[in-house]
């Protein structure tokens, strides 16, 4: 089966550009509602059972965890600067957000006031729609990712998605000396990646090793990944 050239994501939406800049005109109304919360690595960013708030990552990185019925932890989403979350009142109940790096900052917006703002200001409402659509796109990307059959494919797609998101939001933790380098800094442990992809941590490690053996990536350090061959990552499975 030839690895057909799947069309990549379009350049960037207006929202993504705004996120890269860290808040723009239209955001002003919403920014007035925000309460910043700063956390250190491992701390819980927020635990909003009542679903009274919306959130937006402002700096650092975080993981959104859910406890499944059998007590196993599941990482439902990885959050980077610019990402919003907390739209889903119901489904999110029971999930907690944990900072992955020191100095992670999340902005908290009271849901009620955001709704009022949206009712009053069409411009703000438009922004919120774009935000929600971006969240949908993020979730769909992950569904496609989880649907992959084998582990190497999953990890490869994960790396590509991560690189795209770090590029989109001008991730501060990734010091890209050159735009060419295509280095991805993993903000999470192998264990977290495993929880995210529904794989055992050892399998994640082995998949990364396999990708390096095939020349798709290089692993200068456990948390640094140089992407060498995007097509090979995308194809994944091929021997």
Partner DNA sequence: CGGGCCATTGAGTTTCTTCAACATTAGTGG
Partner DNA sequence: CCACTAATGTTGAAGAAACTCAATGGCCCG
CB count within 10 Å of CB 210 equals 16
Residues near a copy of itself, by CB under 8 A = 1-4, 6-7, 9-10, 13, 66-72, 74, 76-77, 87-94, 115, 118-120, 122, 125-126, 128-129, 132-133, 135-137, 139-144, 146-149, 153, 195, 198, 234-238
Q: How many CA atoms lie within 13 A of 110 on its CB side?
A: 6
The answer to whether 208 contacts DNA (rule: CB under 7 A) is yes
- The item of a copy of itself, DNA, none sharing an interface with residue 209, based on CB under 5 to 8 Å by kind, is DNA
Residue from 130, 173, 205, 234 touching DNA (CB under 7 A): that is 205
User: Nearer Cβ to DNA, position 92 or 154?
Assistant: 154
Output the smallest distance, CB 191 to DNA, in A.
5
For CA atoms 32, 35, 40, 46, the dihedral sign is negative
**Which tokens in the block code for residue 14?**
């207006």
Q: Considering only 26-34, 60-68, 117-125, 218-226, which stretch makes contact with DNA by CB under 7 A?
A: 218-226
- Rounded to 10 deg, the angle between the 151-168 and 190-197 helix axes is 110
Characterize the bridge pairing of strands 62-67 and 183-185.
unpaired
Nearer to a copy of itself by Cβ, of 115 and 224: the residue is: 115
Q: Which of 74, 147, 222, 226 binds DNA (CB under 7 A)?
A: 222
Nearer to DNA, 64 or 190 (CB): 190
109 class by beta-carbon count within 10 Å (0-12 exposed, 13-18 middle, 19+ buried)? buried
Q: Which of residues 160-199 bind DNA (CB under 7 A)?
A: 186, 189-191, 194, 198-199
- What is the b/e burial string over 126-146, where b = at least 16 CB atoms within 10 angstroms of the residue's CB? ebbebbeebbeebeebbeebe
Pick between residue 36 and residue 222 the one whose CB is nearest to DNA: 222
- Beta pairing partners, 78: 63
Least CB distance to a copy of itself at residue 164 (A): 11
- Closest by CA position to 5, among listed 157, 231, 158: 231
Angle formed by the axes of helices 201-213 and 151-168, to 10°?
A: 80
Smallest separation (angstroms) from DNA to the CB of 187: 10
Residues written for the chain: 239
Where on the chain is the footprint of DNA (CB under 7 A)? Answer: 149-152, 186, 189-191, 194, 198-206, 208-209, 219, 222-223
């Amino acid at each position: 089966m030839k690895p057909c050239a799947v069309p990549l994501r379009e350049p960037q939406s207006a929202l993504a550009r705004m996120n890269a800049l860290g808040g723009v005109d239209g955001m002003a109304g919403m920014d007035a509602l925000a309460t910043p919360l700063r956390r250190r690595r491992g701390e819980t960013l927020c635990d909003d059972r009542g679903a009274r708030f919306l959130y937006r990552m402002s700096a650092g990185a975080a993981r959104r965890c859910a406890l499944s019925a059998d007590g196993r932890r599941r990482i439902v989403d990885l959050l980077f600067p610019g990402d919003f979350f907390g739209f889903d009142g119901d489904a999110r109940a029971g999930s907690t957000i944990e900072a992955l790096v020191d100095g992670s900052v999340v902005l908290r917006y009271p849901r009620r006031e955001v709704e009022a703002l949206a009712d009053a200001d069409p411009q703000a409402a438009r922004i919120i729609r774009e935000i929600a659509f971006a969240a949908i796109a993020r979730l769909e990307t992950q569904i496609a990712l989880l649907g992959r059959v084998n582990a190497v494919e999953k990890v490869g797609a994960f790396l590509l998605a991560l690189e795209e998101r770090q590029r989109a939001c001008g991730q501060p933790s990734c010091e890209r000396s050159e735009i060419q380098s295509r280095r991805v800094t993993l903000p999470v442990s192998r264990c977290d990646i495993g929880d995210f992809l529904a794989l055992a941590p050892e399998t994640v490690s082995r998949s990364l090793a396999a990708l390096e053996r095939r020349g798709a990536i290089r692993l200068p350090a456990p948390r640094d990944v140089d992407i060498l061959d995007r097509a090979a990552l995308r194809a994944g499975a091929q021997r």
